[in-house]
């Protein structure tokens, strides 16, 4: 029978491979993200641009850049398959090194990666929808809240697991 630590490590390595492959493809595509002579970023569309700028970017896409953005968002679905289960696997590996409340927190944060994954799916589907019809209403406030929540959950999971894995010795 394989140990839980070995199982989660193998799961993490598979996820890491998906993460790296998709991240490489997405990063390569980002060089083509230009609209009206101005560079735009995925992070801007996700978090930093106001609604008016997101609408202007999506409305101003030419066919080539629009296709690249669609490909990028589809590669992001593969990226999600690596990142969120990968963070959950890290949390589960860290959980094996602890006990008590920290163990329960790591388990909860691992399960919360499902919500973060769902939030990322919502984000991509919203952007794909807005590319077809770049009129964005009041749902933009909800969109930003969901995207920010995704980032908080993912970063909390990754950082807490890494801190435990690096600084806490295995419990006896």
The pLDDT tens digits of the residues spanning 83-112 come to: 999 999 999 999 998 989 999 999 999 999
Angle in degrees, CA 134, 126, 135, rounded to 5: 20
Whether 67 maps to a domain, the answer reads yes
Whether 172 maps to a domain, the answer reads no
Whether 99 maps to a domain, the answer reads yes
Residue 1: the pLDDT is 38
Residues 6+ apart with CB under 8 A from 44: 53, 57
Least confident of 71-80, 93-102, 162-171: 162-171
Query: Is 79 a residue whose pLDDT tops 60?
Result: yes
Cα-Cα end-to-end distance for the chain? 20
Confidence band (pLDDT; 50, 70, 90) for 169?
confident
The count of domains in the chain is: 1
**Could you report the per-residue pLDDT of 8-63, keeping only the tens digit for each?**
999 999 999 999 999 999 999 999 999 999 999 999 999 999 999 999 999 999 99
Domain encompassing residue 45 = 4-167
Q: What is the pTM of this model?
A: 0.92
Residue 137 token pair? 């209403």
* Helix spans in the chain (H): 4-29, 42-43, 51-59, 63-95, 100-132, 139-167
* Helix spans in 96-133 (H): 100-132
């Amino acid at each position: 029978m394989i140990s839980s630590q070995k199982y989660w490590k193998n799961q993490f390595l598979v996820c890491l491979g998906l993460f790296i492959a998709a991240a490489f493809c997405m990063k390569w595509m980002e060089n083509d993200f230009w609209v009206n002579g101005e560079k735009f970023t995925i992070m801007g569309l996700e978090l930093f641009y106001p609604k008016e700028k997101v609408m202007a970017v999506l409305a101003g896409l030419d066919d080539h850049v629009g296709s690249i953005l669609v490909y990028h968002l589809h590669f992001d679905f593969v990226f999600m398959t690596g990142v969120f289960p990968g963070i959950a696997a890290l949390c589960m590996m860290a959980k094996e090194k602890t006990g008590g409340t920290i163990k329960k927190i790591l388990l909860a944060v691992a399960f919360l990666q499902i919500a973060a994954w769902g939030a990322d799916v919502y984000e991509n589907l919203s952007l794909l929808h807005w590319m077809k019809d770049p009129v964005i209403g009041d749902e933009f406030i909800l969109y930003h809240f969901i995207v920010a929540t995704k980032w908080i959950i993912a970063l909390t999971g990754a950082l807490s697991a890494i801190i435990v894995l690096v600084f806490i010795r295995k419990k006896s």
